[in-house]
Amino acid sequence: MKQDKAEGATRIKVHSFYLSANEVSVNFVNLNTFYKQGFPYTGKMKVSIAFEDVPLQNETVYLTVDVNDVETHIPYVTDENGEVHFSVDTTNWNNTLVAIRGRHSTGNGTQGDLGFIRAHMEAYNWLKPFYSESNSFLEIQNVEEELPCGKDQEVLVDYIIDRKELGPEADHVDFYYLVSI
């Protein structure tokens, strides 16, 4: 409020503005910064009220994928934990750097209840194409739950193994998955 005194009268100027009632935070969880062209790129976003870590359920969020300055906005709806699991086709990514962004909205802010502006904190990352001289590739899919000690655990693996790189006598390949505590 600003008061001006002129000729014995008081003029009052009132300025109103919106306050941010809360900020929505979008974060990538356990993000792999590499992709293999032709294999689906999978990931997870977590959406919450910033600084309170309160998950937002049933909220529409967007994964924006930028390949060679062409953006694609893919909408998802959060689950009861405020999470979104996504899978993106990499076939047309052409082994270039790819930018991904997790957003609560495609604008700068949205007006919520009572006229408050809801601000947005975005997740942003660059994905690099995976390169191997042998053109071999192996990726172990993330296991969400805690792995049991002393017991076998099935894990999902995406792989390409070039037969020429194994040698003429090879009849099998052994993989060992080491877990640190």
Architecture of domain 20-129: Sandwich (2.60)
Instruction: Give the DSSP letter of residue 174.
Output: -
- Taking a C-beta distance cutoff of 8 angstroms, is the pair 137, 36 a contact? yes
Split at pLDDT 50, 70, 90, the class of 113 is very low
Residue 117 has pLDDT above 60, yes or no: no
Tokens of 174: 């052994």
Residue 170 has pLDDT above 80, yes or no: yes
Residue 114 has pLDDT above 50, yes or no: no
- The one-letter amino acid at 174: D
Predicted confidence (pLDDT) per residue in 144-157, tens digit: 778 778 888 788 88
In which element (H, E) is residue 166 found? helix 163-166
Stated pTM of the model: 0.71
**Spatial separation of the C-alpha atoms in residues 138 and 148, rounded to whole Å:** 23
Predicted confidence (pLDDT) per residue in 42-82, tens digit: 999 999 987 788 999 999 999 999 999 999 999 999 999 99
**Spatial separation of the C-alpha atoms in residues 62 and 85, rounded to whole Å:** 12
